[in-house]
Structures are given as structure tokens and as C-alpha cells.
Structure 1
Amino acid sequence: MEPLEGATTVERMLLNQAKHTHTPANGSIELLPLRNMNWDICYVRLSREEMEAKGRLRTADEWLEIGRQMKDAGVLFLLLTGGEPFLYPDFRRLYLELRKMGMIITINTNGTLIDEELAEFFGKYKPRRVNITLYGTDEETYDKLCHYPGGYEKTLRGIRLLREQGVDVKVGGSLARANRDDLDKLLDIGEELDIPVRVDTYMMPATRERDLSYNMQSRLNPEEAARARIHALKREMGLELFPQYVRQSVERADHPEPAEAKPGHMSCMAGQCSFTINWQGEMRPCVILSEPAVSVFEVGFKAAWKYIVEETHKILLNEKCSTCHMRHLCRTCAASALLETGSYDGVPDYMCRYAGESLRILREEWEKIQHGQTISDR
């Protein structure tokens, strides 16, 4: 999982340095598990009754105390998310106080609750970025996938209002069976609004679907997901950069760097310089992993971070993945291995097929490039 989506060169340098020193430079807080939409493939979504059965929301004052501890521990980048964060009762006060502490704040939202007043607020007190999810490109998809009539126009309106206030906006989307035909339309919207769009074609399996065949799941099957991803990359990179990516990807597969076959540690920043805290106060390495976990409200932030670093280091991945010639095309991480196979050291069949199809397509593209054929971005 990307710890800081769209990080600049300087930001990545800071994160890499923090990774070496195990400084918790980057984190996220899930303020609440409630949403105003009922997306079919949502990882964090509870009804109010389900939430209240599990516990209460933490107050802004409680989060601000953790915020002060985070500041002292070196947290610089902070993501506020949910659920839908704008449903949090005291969001604006919490945001302003964390911002005063010097934290660089990003917000994840579905965008439907952004009105003129909220847009003006962010125009005055700008975040690093507002990430807005587009679940489709028309009202029919929002009704079918999110069960939220009118959601598409509300989301576009929120994007436009923020841009009018000079707020940096990035659009993200996840491709599933219900919106598989929307990929190009999503990318077109980014071009029309002059904002970056990132469409993720790989989705980890929903709990209720893990025992079903791929063709019975809500997500795309691995080959279809791979084809969609390569197509999206072609459009995102353009006709100048995409051939370079193709060449480098094929060369890396044909001439992989020597690697010893042994269980590998997590290579991402989760549990090394990055963390997440859920709405109940449990710190975890990333938003997908449910373990290791420890309550920041019970032990304090620094003790919780120390525990997460130590426990994350114990997680080992399968040795086959460490020597695979397609590992640069694969999306396997500790979280995906666990959710796909039931264990950290499992080898996900989905990911093997995803990487294999990606390489097959890239080889075809490379053949076209070598023979001087024109590559279309459509």
C-alpha cells in the first residue's frame, strides 16, 4: 500500500530516511467507520448500530492528545480518513488543531458532503491534498454499486468547489465488475478537470467472497485486472514515457537481479515509518492488516509504535516471491498474501496470474515498439 500517495521527491527522501531510523513519519487516523454510501466492496463500513455495539467514537480532545504524542515522536504526514471523515462530529476543530501542530494533512473522502462552506474552509486552511474517490462515471453506477442515487453529480460538484478554492485534489477509483466499463471515462474526467486520476484495478478479496471462484467475486478476475492496469498506465504515462516503462519492465523480467531464496521481510513502509490507527484507537502497520495491533489510548503512542515496529519485523513472506522474475510487476505484500491465502507466507494465485498476464501484455507491447508500430493510448 502506498504510504503517501503522490509524494514529491523531497517527501520520499524524508520517508526513506525515516524508514532507516524507524521514525513514524507518516500515519493515518480512521476517525469513524460510518459512511453515507453503501459501497459493495468497502473495507471500512459499519452501521451506527454495529459501531455502537463495538464501542464509542473517540472525542476530538482524545485524538488531540494522541496528536501531541505523535508530534513529539516525529509524525509529519497525517491522513484523516474513515469511513467518511466529514461525518465526524468535531472534524473542523480536530483538523485545525492538528494542522497547528505542524502536521501536513491529507484527507480521504467520497466528496459528496463538500458544499460551498466546506470548500471555503479548506480554501482558507489548505490541506496537503484532498483525495476523492469516484466509484463510477454516471448516476446508474453510483446507484448500482454504491446504492446512492445522485452521488455522481454530488461528487463532481465537490471536486469543482475545491478546485475553485485552489485546493489540491486527486481522484482515485477502484475498478470492479460493476464499473469495469468506466476506466477510460474516469481517466477522461481527470483530463477534463485537469486533476490527476489514479485507478486501482487490483482489489483484495472481500471477506464474504474469499472462498468463491474469481468469476463469482465482485472484483475483476486477475487477467482482466492486469489488462486494465496496463491500459491505465499507458494513458497515465503517455506515448513518450510508456515505451520506456515497457522496455524496463521486460528487461527486468528477462534479467532479474540475483536474489537469495529465503523468506523476506516486508519491504513497504508499513511498520517501519508508517502506521494507521483505527477509530477505536488500535495502531496497526497498515489499514489492511488487522494484526499486529495495540491501543494507543492504553499504552501511549511511543510504546505502541515500538510494539508495531518489533512485531512487523517478525512478519516473513514466502521465499518463492523473493526470487520470482515477475516480482516487480506483482502486487503481493504481507496484507495481500494474508487476505488471498490466509497466511503471510502464502503465494497468492491471484497475484501470480495478475503478474503473468501483465508480463504477457508488456511483451506484446515491446514487440510492437521494436517493429516500429504505433502505440495507441486507447
Structure 2
Amino acid sequence: MHQVVATPQDEKFAIVRQGERKALHIPRAYYNEVASAVTERSPVPGWLIDAAEAAWGLRLSGQPSDTAILVRPLTTLNFSRATYEINQGCNFGCEHCFLPDRKFMGLSGEEKGHLLTLLRDAGVLWLQFTGGEPTIDPDFHAAYRTAYDMGMLLEILTNGSRLHHPAVINLLTSLPPHKITVSLYGATAESFDALTQRAGSFKAVMKGITAAKEAGIPLEITLIITKYSAHEVEAMRELADRYGVSRKEYGTISPTYKGGNEPLATQAEDWVNRSSVFAGCPAGHRFFHVDPHGWATMCKIGRENPVNLMSEGLSGLARLPGIADSQMLRSGGCAGCRLSKTCRVCRPLAKVYQEAKAPLRTYCQHGMKEATK
């Protein structure tokens, strides 16, 4: 098993170690030297031996390059990140979910392996597994291992309910992720289980977070604030801090990506439209999303004009930047808006709010002005 990964990255080059946050930025000449050393099965270059020990306390001296280093290929595409919605099925029934359907379906195990190869060849270094709940997909473990073996830095966006399972713990300790992000829906079983519509969900998630923390798996907790939990936000913060993990807060509830308004009923009034100003996004240019069937789109929300990776391959991804640019145009109800530079939502997200006939104040500054009159 490789110890470090040499990789192109955003037209630059880096040495990374999976499960570690530090990275070594290197010139192309050093990348070429490492690639040649691996091909020729020669010793690890001296400069890398010194740098790896200084950065990670890792000793590569005496190791052959072809076993110590994985060299990721050069690519003509400029993508570096992707999210893979491995399955939309979930063991929770959260009222605020942006997925219109949570069906258990998607690619076969073999097809998932082919898809991951395409992502690697597109340049994807950071890969987020998401769902639904990714850990319940029957092929999740195999897909995770495949992506890890390809040198990707992996994140799992999870509800945390399966993190205590021995097979999951063993996977994540033997092949460490970049991080695991757990969604926290409340500080009590009453509020938590009300949103998930599953009795015992709070208990399962707390058990999962505890097990992952004790195993030394890098965690981040996202506090999801809804009408069920708004009264206990401080307790949610204290719960996350008790585990000594970083946390983020998310209180703006959106419609489904198809424009369904059902999730909006869970919005906490005091948390309406608290997002920061939208300052641009690399979606479709350096980042993209893939659904369970292998369709690539600019992001999780902007799913118009998808590219079928399984039939078109990498050539299809070359069309994504143009598709993304067209979806980002301030058209429809946002055409000519003089407040667009300080808007809190991108155009694709504004469109799903509009399709859901959401109150203007939930996503638009014009609505906020009207609400204060």
C-alpha cells in the first residue's frame, strides 16, 4: 500500500498523504522525478524522504518508490473535486431533505468502479461520498476502497448512524478519510427524532459519533437548525464542542432540487436567509456532482442538462463549464436584479425556490425588505 500520493492539482503539483491535512506543493520537475522513480522502481528521492519526515513524521528511507508512492496521472481536464451521490436511499426520513425521492437504485458495483476511474482521470483529488446515506449502499465499502487506492482524499457526508459498526470503523481506520461530516439535527431525542421521523435515530447517531471519535477518525459536525431544534441551538453547539470537533451551522432550508416546497415547512423563522453573500462558485469548472446513475451535473442543485458519464466518458465533462455558465445567468425572475452582487443564493438555487413558489423573504433581499416594512 502506498504511503504518499504525487498528484497534479489545479495546474500545479503536490505530494499528499491520505488522512493528513498537510500537503507538499512541488514544482513539475519534482513530480516528473517522482514519476520516473516509480516507473524505474528506484529509491525514493532524497528530497521527498526529508520532506515526508518533516511534514508527517513518515520515514520513506530505504523504500522502493513504486511501493511507497502512488503517482496520479496528468489530465487534460481541470477538475479537482467532485461529490458522488452513491445512492439516494436513506435509513432516515428527514422532513427537510432536498432530495425529492429517496429510492434505493443506481449503478452496479462494477459500474461504480468504472465511474470512479473516470473521476480519477478527470483529475478529481477530493471526493465526497454522499447520498441519501452513503454507508448503507451495498457497494459503499468497495467503492471507498477503490477511490482510496486511486489516491483520492475522501470525505463522507453522513447522518452518522452507521459509524459505530465494526466494519465501518475498520474501513475508516485502515484507510483514513480526509474527514467525516456528520449532520446533527438536534440536542435531544425529542427534536432529533421528530425531524428524522425515525425513533432511536438520535441514540444511533450519538453512538456513531462517539465510536468514530474514540477511533481517532477526523470528524466535523454540521448543526442543521430547523423548527424542531431552533430552541436548543446552544445545546447543539455544546454537544459538538464536548466531542472536541469542528462545527458548522446551517439554518437555511431549501426546496428539493426539483422545486418541491415540502422541506420549507421545517424552516426555523429566526434562521431565514442567514447565508453569507454568494461570492462565486467553481461548480462545473473545477467541481462537479455525480448522481447514483452516473449523470454528472454542475452541482447537487443545478441538475439541468446532465452529462451521462457512463456513455460519454471524459469527453462529456468537457461540456460542463458551458452548461454551468448558462445556468448561472441571472435569468427568469432574477433578470436585471440590481441586488445580484449581494445575493445570498446562486441562480440555480434561486430557480428552485421560484419553482417551489417559496415566500420571497426566504431567499431574496427584495423579500427581506418587504418583510420589514
Which stretch shifts more, 347-356 or 174-183? 347-356
* Residue 220 of structure 1 pairs with residue 273 of structure 2: no
Q: CA 1:291–1:192 in structure 2 vs 1: closer, same or farther (change >3 Å)?
A: same
* Residue 68 of structure 1 pairs with residue 117 of structure 2: yes
SS in 2 for 1:286: coil
In the TM superposition, residue 267 of structure 1 has moved relative to its aligned partner by 2.4
1:44 paired residue number: 99
Which residue, out of 162, 183, 186, partners 2:212?
162
What does 1:96-107 align with in structure 2 at a 5 Å threshold? 96-107=145-156
Task: Judge conservation of contact 1:120–1:165 (CA < 8 Å) in 2.
Answer: no
What is the TM-score when the length of structure 2 is the normalising length?
Answer: 0.70
Task: Judge conservation of contact 1:292–1:312 (CA < 8 Å) in 2.
Answer: no
SS in 1 for 2:129: strand
SS in 1 for 2:233: helix
SS in 2 for 1:270: coil
Task: Judge conservation of contact 2:89–2:132 (CA < 8 Å) in 1.
Answer: yes
Question: What letter corresponds to residue 186 of structure 1 in structure 2?
Answer: M
In the TM superposition, residue 8 of structure 1 has moved relative to its aligned partner by 7.3
1:115 paired residue number: 164
Q: CA 1:355–1:8 in structure 2 vs 1: closer, same or farther (change >3 Å)?
A: farther
Question: What letter corresponds to residue 288 of structure 1 in structure 2?
Answer: I
Task: Judge conservation of contact 2:192–2:228 (CA < 8 Å) in 1.
Answer: no
In the TM superposition, residue 175 of structure 1 has moved relative to its aligned partner by 1.6
RMSD (Å) for aligned C-alpha atoms: 3.3
2:344 paired residue number: 331
2:261 paired residue number: 209
Task: Judge conservation of contact 1:183–1:199 (CA < 8 Å) in 2.
Answer: no
SS in 1 for 2:229: helix
Q: Aligned equivalents of 2:281 and 2:127: distance in 1?
A: 17
Task: Judge conservation of contact 1:24–1:305 (CA < 8 Å) in 2.
Answer: no
2:30 paired residue number: none
SS in 2 for 1:81: strand
Q: CA 1:288–1:10 in structure 2 vs 1: closer, same or farther (change >3 Å)?
A: farther
Which is helix-richer, 1 or 2?
Answer: 1
- Structure 1 stretches of 5 or more lacking a match? 1-6, 12-20, 231-248, 250-263, 361-378
1:310 paired residue number: 322
Task: Judge conservation of contact 2:79–2:285 (CA < 8 Å) in 1.
Answer: yes
Q: Aligned equivalents of 1:325 and 1:79: distance in 2?
A: 30
* Residue 294 of structure 1 pairs with residue 343 of structure 2: no
CA deviation profile, 1:192-246 (whole Å, cap 9, x unmatched): 1111111111121344437x9x7xx32134x54357x79xxxxxxxxxxxxxxxx
Q: Aligned equivalents of 2:347 and 2:163: distance in 1?
A: 35
* Residue 151 of structure 1 pairs with residue 201 of structure 2: yes
* Residue 58 of structure 1 pairs with residue 122 of structure 2: no
CA deviation profile, 1:160-185 (whole Å, cap 9, x unmatched): 11111111001113222122212111
2:127 paired residue number: 78
In the TM superposition, residue 319 of structure 1 has moved relative to its aligned partner by 6.0
Question: What letter corresponds to residue 267 of structure 2 in structure 1?
Answer: R
In the TM superposition, residue 96 of structure 1 has moved relative to its aligned partner by 0.8
Q: Aligned equivalents of 2:291 and 2:340: distance in 1?
A: 36
1:17 paired residue number: none
